[in-house]
Amino acid sequence: MKKDLIINFTPTGMIPTKEMSPHVPVSVSEIVEDVHAANEIGITMVHLHARDAVSGMPTYKKEVYADIISGIRKYAPELVICVSLSGRDFYELEKRSDPLLLTDHLKPDMGSLTLSSLNFNKTASVNDPNMVMSLAAMMKDRGIVPELEAFDIGMVNYAKYLERKKLIEAPYYFNLLFGNIACSQANLLHSGVMINDLPDNSFWSLAGIGNEQLKMNSLSIAVGGGVRVGIEDNIWYDRERTKLTTNLELLKRIHLIANANERQVMSSKDFRIKMNLEPGNGCYGRKLNKS
């Protein structure tokens, strides 16, 4: 079954810097330009991180997200936009939820929701149960769909807990991330167990950290899933790390692999329909039930 391919484009992230790679988009204009070019190549959605204009470090501020979203929607009014609500640098609910306060043409369609705490090589992403449930409740109240991030099978199980608590509702979209040192590893067994355990009516993409990105993207394309791809997860084009990549090089390679597997890229329009999202072009997020 060769379903349409969800391409979730992740251009920036919280870790890559200009010192690490000159190709990482950091300023508002750089991020907007990369998303514009990516949209021309073909993507389904974009997962945004914002950076401070002076320091280049991650920022939670909705005003910066507003500038990025406004710039993107000038030329891509249908593109599905997800904002990061990460717990890697910010721990207070007021900070992490700030982008969810955007409204009207600046309203994000989705917000990332990491389903538990986890350790990276040198840092932690802190997502205690109250934080996860509070963010989920805010998104449900505001008609913003959670982009469910799972790094291991326990996080998939926690999504089912949120479902039972009626804090999230189908249809679901999951990013399943592999290769982090303290989480599920990038292999068939770990990925198969997580995919098999997803709740009903779930769409999913596979992501790989660093050298594992190409492997997990290729696997997902072959078995009918989506991909999460971009400099956020991997700054290198090759496993030997001899060539720093651009976002567009990563995307063009995904398209080559998709074509070889006879997969077509899912349009934002189709993804909006499948996820019960508003149609874009001025109306964003999930329609609120007024009853």
Domain map (residue ranges) of the chain: 7-274
Which residue, among 213, 206, 205, has the nearest Cα to 245 in the 3D structure? 213
The β-bridge partners of 134 are none
Which residue, among 106, 115, 151, has the nearest Cα to 135 in the 3D structure? 115
pTM of the prediction?
A: 0.96
Tell me, which fold does domain 7-274 have in CATH?
TIM Barrel (3.20.20)
36-65 pLDDT tens trace: 999 999 999 999 999 999 999 999 999 999
pLDDT at 291: 46
Half-sphere exposure (CA, 13 Å, Cβ side) for 143? 15
Does residue 268 contact residue 243 with C-beta atoms inside 8 Å?
no
Determine the straight-line distance between the first and last CA of the chain, rounded to whole angstroms: 38
Q: What angle do CA 40, 44, 49 make, to 5 degrees?
A: 90
Helix, strand, coil proportions of the chain in percent (round to 5)? 35, 20, 45
pLDDT at 123: 87
Low-confidence ranges of the chain (pLDDT < 50): 1, 291
pLDDT at 2: 56
pLDDT at 290: 55
- DSSP string for 141-158: HHT-EEEEEESSHHHHHH
Does residue 153 contact residue 184 with C-beta atoms inside 8 Å?
yes
